[in-house]
């Protein structure tokens, strides 16, 4: 159940060779963890694996060589990400830095920021988190109230972020803050790159219902960062962050988080499956293929420098529905004990618990549907 052959674009380079090389590398280097770790693997933190992946040239692929990157086409990176997720590789440590922080620094950051942060990202050694949601400003991101005031010493930050994935192991946060006093909604916002070992920052864990520590609260108590922490143009944070969210919402992780369950279902069904199970496998495969085509088409637009916010939101909305429905659909048709010790039972149990969160990360379904509606002129 790994890999695909057709593309909604002209693939650059020798994609087949790229897939073959990566699969060979994974066979030698991927940790053989419990099968459950292979589901939702872009939340699995393994810094040793991230560093090895970076050393092999599979992190920072689209960054310029002068910053330690591979100078690859974005769609070559897409193929690599697709393979890593299908294999269930533990890519969570470097995930956000590689997916969006690095490209945003390259696009909007200063030369000093590029030289300071991009080489570490490309090595799989520097990890980032996103400082967006706040109490009272989660789904309504324009209600951000964390304040950054410019002083002679630098930027003084006070406020709180919440639901911050990976803050407890990240080195930097790219935070959306309100820099213009008296501003409201999406005006007066800027982005700051904040080193998380700066005095005045407190990180507290949020433990989810499965007992996992992925999310955090982050508090800023009169935190001082240098003037050079500003990314891009002051007051243009809203424009910058919406471009960043296009990268976050449209990738293959939006339909491959539950892929391990589909692979386990195929294995458990065997060569002569029950007709109902065979029908479900066919339905899920066809839906995944459609989502893949949508995702890759959106990736092609991003690679061309476009800002396909509506398309990215469609991928996220439909992908979330697919990933959340899959465990329920499997449970409804397969005789599988809740406390069973087969791969299928373990994955089904884990994803029934974890999948409700899939529609929260990157924007709730209500927010995403609002973006789609506005983009289509429906509101």
76, 125, 248, 311: which one is catalytic? 248
Q: Which residues contact 315 (CB under 8 A, 6 or more apart)?
A: 249, 250, 254, 255, 291, 294, 295, 298
Contact (Cβ atoms closer than 8 angstroms) between residue 105 and residue 117:
yes
Task: Kindly state the helix (H) or strand (E) to which residue 150 belongs, with its residue range.
Answer: strand 147-150
42-81 burial: b if 16+ Cβ within 10 Å, else e: bbbbbeebbbbbbeebbbbbbbeeebbbbebebbbbbbbb
- The answer to whether the Cα torsion of 186, 190, 196, 201 is positive or negative is negative
Catalytic site includes residue 248: yes
How buried is residue 4: exposed, middle or buried, by Cβ count under 10 Å (0-12/13-18/19+)?
Answer: middle
Q: Which of 280, 274, 311, 276 is nearest to 295 (CA)?
A: 311
What does the block give as tokens for 338? 């809740």
Contact (Cβ atoms closer than 8 angstroms) between residue 232 and residue 108:
yes
List active site positions: 248
């Amino acid at each position: 159940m790994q890999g695909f052959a057709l593309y909604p674009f002209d693939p650059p380079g020798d994609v087949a060779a790229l897939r073959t090389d990566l699969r060979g590398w994974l066979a030698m280097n991927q940790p053989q963890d419990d099968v459950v770790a292979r589901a939702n693997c872009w939340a699995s933190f393994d810094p040793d694996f991230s560093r090895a992946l970076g050393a092999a040239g599979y992190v920072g692929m689209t960054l310029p060589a002068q910053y330690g990157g591979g100078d690859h086409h974005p769609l070559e990176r897409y193929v690599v990400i697709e393979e890593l997720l299908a294999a269930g590789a533990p890519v969570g440590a470097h995930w956000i830095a590689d997916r969006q922080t690095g490209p945003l620094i390259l696009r909007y950051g200063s030369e000093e920021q590029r030289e300071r942060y991009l080489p570490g990202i490309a090595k799989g050694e520097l990890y980032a988190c996103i400082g967006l949601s706040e109490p009272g400003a989660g789904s309504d991101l324009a209600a951000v109230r964390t304040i950054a005031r410019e002083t002679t010493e630098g930027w003084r930050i006070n406020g709180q972020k919440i639901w911050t994935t990976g803050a407890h192991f990240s080195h930097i946060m790219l935070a959306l803050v309100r820099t213009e006093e008296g501003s409201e909604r999406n005006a007066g916002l800027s982005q700051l790159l904040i080193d998380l070992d700066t005095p005045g920052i407190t990180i507290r864990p949020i433990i989810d219902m499965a007992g996992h520590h992925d999310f955090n609260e982050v508090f800023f108590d009169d935190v001082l960062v240098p003037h050079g922490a500003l990314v891009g143009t002051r007051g243009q944070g809203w424009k910058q962050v919406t471009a960043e969210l296009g990268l976050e919402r449209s990738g293959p992780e939006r339909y491959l988080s539950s892929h391990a369950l589909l692979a386990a279902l195929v294995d458990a069904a065997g060569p002569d499956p029950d007709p109902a199970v065979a029908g479900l496998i066919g339905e899920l495969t066809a839906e995944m293929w459609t989502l893949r085509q949508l995702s890759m088409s959106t990736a092609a637009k991003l690679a061309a420098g476009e800002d396909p916010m509506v398309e990215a939101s469609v991928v996220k909305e439909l992908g979330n529905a697919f990933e959340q429905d899959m465990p329920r659909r499997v449970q409804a048709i397969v005789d599988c004990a809740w406390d069973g010790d087969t791969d299928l039972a373990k994955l089904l149990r884990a994803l029934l618990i974890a999948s409700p969160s899939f529609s929260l990360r990157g924007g709730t379904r209500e927010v995403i549907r609002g973006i789609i509606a506005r983009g289509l002129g429906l509101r």
